[in-house]
Amino acid sequence: QSVLTQPPSVSGAPGQRVTISCTGSSSNIGAGYDVHWYQQLPGTAPKLLIYGSSNWPSGVPDRFSGSKSGTSASLAITGLQAEDEADYYCQSYDSSLSGWVFGGGTKLTVL
Amino acid sequence: QITLKESGPTLVKPTQTLTLTCTFSGFSLSTSGVGVGWIRQPPGQALEWLALIYWNDDKLYSPSLKSRLTITKDTSKNQVVLTMTNMDPVDTATYYCAHTDDSSGDRYFDYWGQGTLVTVSS
């Protein structure tokens, strides 16, 4: 059981907007630690998508955006494209575990 | 350009010790704030953080695996080594190493290796 909770799957049609939630607790997201998001295309290593809850690394399109509130965070993808079909993971730091924690991952299907 | 690459055995027997090496380039593990972590992913399952070593030799371990893990660095060789004792079939996974720099206060992995699949079987 992952420390951060994500929905197992989400789906959307091309051009639509989807959101992926990431729920934590008072020892991680709720404690003020930032949330970071990774995209993992099939058969590849994870790639940093959003850092510091809402910042883009170089090269990541602004169709991807992140937000954080309380003990939760969200990743939004607008203008859905076929190449967005991947697994998405949230990650933060947990003070009670003194370590880094990942969500269980969400599989995005583009219909 | 930062790159990382994992190396080690592809097959280990139950109860054996796994030793994985992460060889990196494009950064120095003696630079303030820089760290290298290990993350694994069983087939079809989620990412799991294992361990992290910082430039100043500070080490963090996943509490659930702490007793089995050791992480070390060789700054001169640009390598980080992870050992995991008493391997079990449930430890079958792709093991990744990744770069972090928390000098800004954020803790995330911005560069990842390609991963290496380790199978535990007799």
Q: Confidence band (pLDDT; 50, 70, 90) for B104? A: confident
CB contact under 8 A, B46 and A102: yes
Q: What is the pLDDT of residue A67?
A: 94
C-alpha B112/C-alpha A53 separation (Å) is 19
Residue A23 neighbours by CB under 8 Å, 6+ apart: A4, A5, A6, A29, A71, A72
- What is the arithmetic mean of pLDDT over A33-38? 96
C-alpha B76/C-alpha B87 separation (Å) is 29
Q: What is the pLDDT of residue A89?
A: 98
C-alpha A72/C-alpha B84 separation (Å) is 33
Residue B64 neighbours by CB under 8 Å, 6+ apart: none
Q: What is the pLDDT of residue B100?
A: 96
Q: What is the pLDDT of residue B17?
A: 98
C-alpha B3/C-alpha B91 separation (Å) is 25
Cβ atoms of A103 and A4 within 8 Å: the answer is yes
Q: Is the pLDDT of residue A106 over 90?
A: yes
Q: In sequence order, what are the beta bridge partners of A106?
A: A88
Q: What angle do CA B99, B40, B103 make, to 5 degrees?
A: 25
CB contact under 8 A, B106 and A52: yes
CB contact under 8 A, A36 and B46: no
Cβ atoms of A34 and A16 within 8 Å: the answer is no
pLDDT tens column, B44-97:
999 999 999 999 999 999 999 999 999 999 999 999 999 999 999 999 999 999
Contacts of B46 in chain A (CB under 8 A): 2, 89, 102-105
Q: What is the pLDDT of residue B120?
A: 98
CB contact under 8 A, B108 and A91: yes
C-alpha A48/C-alpha A40 separation (Å) is 9
Q: What is the pLDDT of residue B98?
A: 98
pLDDT tens column, A5-29:
999 999 999 999 999 999 999 999 9
Q: How many CB atoms lie within 10 A of CB B65?
A: 16
Q: Confidence band (pLDDT; 50, 70, 90) for B106? A: confident
- What is the arithmetic mean of pLDDT over A89-100? 95
C-alpha B86/C-alpha B99 separation (Å) is 27
C-alpha B86/C-alpha A5 separation (Å) is 29
Contacts of A90 in chain B (CB under 8 A): none
